[in-house]
Amino acid sequence: MKFPLALIFAFTALAAAAQAGDLRSGRDSYLVFQLDNDLFTGSDRNYTNGARLAYLRPIAEKDLNWIQKSLRTLGGTGDSRLFNFLAVAVDPDQVRFDWGIGLTQLMFTPSDPEWTEAPPGERPYAGWLGMEFSLHAKDSRAVSSVVLSVGVTGEYSFAEETQKWVHTHISGSPVFQGWDSQIPGEVTVNLNFDQKRRFGDLARATRDWLMEVDGYLEWGAGIGNFRTDAYVGTLLRTGIHLPVQYATPRIQLGNYSHELFLPGARVNRSEWSLYLFGGARGTAVAHDITLDGPVFRSFDTGVSSEPLVGELVAGVGFRLGSFTLTFSRTFRTKEFDGQEQGHQFGSILASIGF
């Protein structure tokens, strides 16, 4: 299985390059692994699998390279006033930066593995493989993230090879027969914005409770030939010794499990945490390459994306020292015309700070 090894070596080299520079003392870097799969909920269709390996590290403003400086400007913390509405703090000295790099693979299939081509009303075969470069500007109450993702659909996403290997050697599931009909190859470039603002008063008010409560409101948007959309949402969590780190429940471009906000009112010195979390999101979708097809070539997918998609997520998280493990389930409404019902999938996240 040469292609995953090559990708791992490539990612390792990029992560090592990203690590160059001075770190601010006392702040963690994170290595994150995420897996989405609907087999956790008893199905094998639609958004059937997603996997990500990501690395994040704090970075001093003086060490930003030209890509990071461009993302900083787009995030409202540069010299341009055009994006000031994204800024997280009035005082630039309060802002700290994290730099992230991730490798993500997504795959989508119809419901019947015997179909060599998805019939009308079924999700077409599609795969995507991409690199994500993100800059996160944060203070104690908010974080603004700007993400540049570059990827490819079609055979070079290696979705067919990955799924066939996993189904043959790990899950024992049927091998899907229709990957020759998948959405054809197209290089994708996407720019994504995301801002989260914490419920600061809630965290302070429950600091001394047995079951602490906190969370955030979020909004974001993406533009590009992979996906163009905009969303609003919220996430709440409650538990014992809530950690500073937030776990991202499911794979989302540029959003990783890390210290979203500077500690501010919360400095949890306990060695462990146990908590529940839940959230909701509404998304307006203008284009989704896995449903609407490529932009720069003609290809009829047989379906089109729904303009409005909602989702609920619920899960449980555990932290021991710098290691975090979460499991969650996402309930998503219909994503394309002809889809008979919404879709569910489970997610596992493991991260370690060092």
Q: What is the pLDDT of residues 113-132, one digit of tens each?
A: 999 999 888 999 999 999 99
What is the pLDDT at residue 4? 45
What is the pLDDT at residue 79? 62
What is the pLDDT at residue 331? 96
User: Percent helix, strand, coil in the chain (nearest 5)?
Assistant: 20, 45, 35
Q: What is the pLDDT of residues 1-26, one digit of tens each?
A: 444 444 444 444 444 444 433 333 34
DSSP 252: B
Check whether 323 has a pLDDT greater than 80.
Answer: yes
What is the pLDDT at residue 263? 64
Q: Which domains does the chain have, with CATH numbers?
A: 2-353 (2.40.128.140)
Check whether 136 has a pLDDT greater than 80.
Answer: yes
Return the beta strands (E) in the chain as ranges: 30-37, 46-59, 96-109, 126-138, 142-153, 187-198, 212-224, 227-240, 272-288, 308-320, 323-332, 343-353
Stretch 225-233: mean pLDDT, rounded? 96
**Vertex 155 angle, CA 154 and 160, to 5°:** 105
Q: What is the pLDDT of residues 56-89, one digit of tens each?
A: 999 888 888 777 887 877 776 766 555 666 667 6
User: Which strand (E) or helix (H) includes residue 159?
Assistant: helix 159-166
Residue (of 200, 211, 265) closest to 237 by Cα position: 211
Give the C-alpha separation, 325 to 317, whole Å.
Answer: 6
* SS3 state at 328: strand
Q: What is the pLDDT of residues 269-320, one digit of tens each?
A: 688 999 999 999 999 999 999 999 999 998 999 999 999 999 999 999 999 9
Q: What is the pLDDT of residues 167-221, one digit of tens each?
A: 998 888 889 999 999 999 999 999 999 989 988 777 677 777 778 899 999 999 9
Give the C-alpha separation, 267 to 345, whole Å.
Answer: 33
